[in-house]
Amino acid sequence: MDTRPFGIDFGGSGIKGALVDLGDGDFDGDRVKIKTPQPATPGAVAEVVAELLGHFPNRTGPVGITVPGVVHRGVVGSAANIDPAWIGEDADALFTKATGHEVHIVNDADAAGLAEVRYGAAKGRDGLVIVTTLGTGIGSALVYDGALVPNSELGHLELNGGDAEQYAANSARENEDLTFEEWAERLTEYYSMVEALFSPDLFVVGGGISKKSAEFLPLIDIRTEMVPATLRNRAGIVGAALWAAEAAAHH
Ligand code: BGC
C-alpha cells in the first residue's frame, strides 16, 4: 500500500493529479490529466476526480485538491471564475464520499504559495512572502515565517474603480491585447497597492505566464523584491498534497 499524499489541480481546462514526494516536493511517478467537464459543477468534477484516482489503485494516502475560490473548513465560499454552484458546497465531504478517500480542498493560490515557500522560489525565506498567481484571475497567498494565512483573496482589492483582477490579471492582458509594457504598468499599480498595505519582504509571481517573466517582471516598478515562481505547473499539485498531508496529521 502506498500512503504518500496525492495532489490534484482543478483548472479551467484540465484536472491533473500525481502522487507527491514531500521530501523534495516533486511528483512521484506519472501525472494523469483528464479534461475538465463542462459545465464544471461540483458533481461533474467529483466524478472526474474519482476517475483520476482510479488510475492509482494502490494508494491510500490523503488527497488534496485545489479550488479557485475561498475555502473555509472544506466549504467553498466564492466562485469568481468557476461555476456558481460551488458556493456553499462542502467539497471535502463531496469528494470524500465520491472517492472513498480522505480529501481536503485548498484555495489554488494558497496551494501554490505553500509549495513555493516550502520547495520553490521562496524556500528558506522568512518574514512575509506574498505569492500571487496571474491567470484568469489573480490569486494570492500570504505566508509569514512559513505559516500560511489562508484566503487572502488579494485579487479582489479595488483598483481603478473595479475588481483588481479584471484590470491586471493575465486574462486582461490577453483580452485587451496589451503589450507587456502596458500590462506591466497595470501590474505596477497593483503591486504598489499591495506593497503599501502589507509591506511584504518578497513577492513571488506565479501562474502560467510566469514562464515569460523575463518579459514583464523587470518592468514592474516597486520597492519590494520580486521573483518568478519556480515550481511552475507543479505548484498546485504539490501544494495540495502538502495541505492534505498536514490536514490529515491534525485529525
Ligand atoms: C479567486 C481566488 C483564486 C484566484 C486564482 C480569484 O478570482 O477569487 O480564490 O485563488 O482567482 O484562481
Q: Where are the domains of the chain?
A: 6-110+234-250, 125-230
Residue with grid cell 498531508, as numbered in its chain: 245
Strands (E), the chain: 6-10, 14-21, 26-27, 32-35, 63-67, 71-72, 75-76, 103-107, 128-134, 138-144, 147-149, 158-159, 162-163, 202-206, 226-228
pTM of the model: 0.97
Distance 71 CA to ligand 1 centre (A): 11
The answer to whether the CB of 36 is under 6 A from ligand 1 is no
Q: With bands split at pLDDT 50, 70 and 90, how would you rate the model's confidence at 162?
A: very high
Region 159-175 average pLDDT: 97
Mean pLDDT across 181-193: 98
Residue of 98, 17, 33 lying closest to 4 (CA atoms): 17
Fold: same for 6-110+234-250 and 125-230: yes
> Rounded mean pLDDT of 14-37?
96
Asked if the model's pLDDT at residue 135 lies above 80, the reply is: yes
109 lines ligand 1 (CB under 6 A): yes
Average pLDDT of the residues in 46-72: 97
CATH no. for 6-110+234-250: 3.30.420.40
* Index of the ligand 1 atom closest to the CA of residue 108: 10
Max CA distance (Å), the chain: 54
CATH number of 125-230: 3.40.30.10, 3.20.20.70, 3.40.50.300, 3.30.420.40? 3.30.420.40
pLDDT tens figures, 78-98: 999 999 999 999 999 999 999
Residue with cell 501554490: 112
Q: How many Å apart are CA 188 and CA 68, to the nearest integer?
A: 24
Give residue 67's pLDDT band: very low, low, confident or very high (50, 70, 90). Answer: very high
Give the distance (Å) from ligand 1 centre to CA of residue 26. Answer: 24
| 3 state DSSP class of 33 | strand
